[in-house]
Structure 1
Amino acid sequence: MEIFTSRPDPSSTAEKNGIQTRRRKLVVAMTGATGSILGIKMLIALRRLNVETHLIISKWAEATVKYETDYTISNIRALADHVYNIHDMAAPISSGSFRIDGMIVVPCSVKTMASINSGICDDLISRAADVMLKERRRLVLAVRETPLSNIHLQNMLSVSQAGAIIFPPVPAFYIKPSSVDDLVDHSVGRMLDLFDLDTAEFERWEGWKKQ
């Protein structure tokens, strides 16, 4: 289990080629689907990349974390810069006027995907995702479910047409993983590629290798 006790200095990467740049900001939402380690590793990767994180954890995500991992909820909250209650509809990330670069729902349950697709906005995860869509910002849904029903597939198509990216964390066997961590790191890295963020912590495909 990896725990960080100090935060990176925001000013350390705030200047590039002599030009002051704004620190990148992402919303990370964790739902109750299996695969909570994906959300945890996402927070760790973003912290290393000095990206400001705005975290929402659902009640069932907390239960899944306790069942699947050795992390405590306080450990996970400590990885984020800002943490919001899922019922806090007045949070900054619930407004389109708040400047943010995108959002990742990881893992994303089919229930959450359905809520986002329908535009219900009955909690902060679905509202923040709705903001991403209406403001034309990047929204990535790491949907964890199998097999998929017609309802799931229709929701995937519809929310994709609205601008979201569906990213099922499918294992990449070509990296010849030696552990589950290898597969998790690959999925996390590929998700962050979608935000032009490079973790440099997974193997990329470079063609067939000679045996």
Structure 2
Amino acid sequence: MRYLVAITGASGICYGLKLLEALQGEKEIIVSETGKAVMKHETGIGYEKLSEYGNLYSDDDLFAPSASGTHKIDAMIICPCSQSTLAKISNGIADSLITRSASVALKEGRKLILVTRETPLSVIMLENELKLAKSGATILPASPGFYKNQHTLEELIDFIVGKILDQLGQNHELFERWE
């Protein structure tokens, strides 16, 4: 399985990093310029470190493989997904590799998962999310569950990443299921 993971400048880089660790299969990675800055600020980790997880592509490289519908991926996950990125995708603006790749995923009928992390949401944000959901994208807000008394930050992150893996059909043991 081949996955495209994009990280944008929304807070919550920890979700994207955990996803890259847990996701099974071949990974291609794009990080926006703001995503790089937020990653450094929130985690102290530099962008180059992500090459340990897969092939890195520059967000301004519109000649990268994922810019074309002929390049096969099984799913694209934007984690975290800023509302700015979501708005561009929702309105057909494909001015970066991330937004172009998402546009390609939608037009090719491939799985597109957007892990949003903004709150509260304006009516405009909700309408953009609804438009993308109607177009086939999965909107997966980073809203951790507390079903099994998660107490640590890592457990809360694992819950969200586990929900992403569930959407991709991947087995995991990141959280205890409700029985």
TM-score range, shorter chain: over 0.9
- Match of residue 10 from structure 1: none
- Match of residue 82 from structure 2: 109
- Match of residue 138 from structure 1: 111
- Match of residue 29 from structure 1: 6
The TM-score normalised by the length of structure 2 is: 0.97
After TM superposition, list the pairs within 5 Å mapping 1:12-161 onto structure 2: 24-46=1-23, 49=24, 51-80=25-54, 82-161=55-134
What is the CA distance between 1:173 and its match in structure 2? 1.0
Determine if contact 2:50/2:56 at 8 Å carries over to the other structure.
no
What is the CA distance between 1:127 and its match in structure 2? 0.4
What is the CA distance between 1:78 and its match in structure 2? 2.0
What is the CA distance between 1:192 and its match in structure 2? 1.2
SS at match of 1:97: coil
What is the CA distance between 1:54 and its match in structure 2? 0.6
SS at match of 1:172: coil
Gaps of 5+ in 2: none
Determine if contact 2:158/2:174 at 8 Å carries over to the other structure.
yes
Gaps of 5+ in 1: 1-23, 207-211
Matched, 1:176 2:176: no
SS at match of 1:84: strand
Q: Deviation string for 1:124-150 (max 9, x for gaps)?
A: 000000011001010000011100001
Quick one: distance in 2 between partners of 1:59 and 1:31? 8
Identity of aligned residues (%): 42
What is the CA distance between 1:66 and its match in structure 2? 1.1
- Structure with more contact order per residue of length (Cα contacts < 8 Å, sep ≥ 6): 2
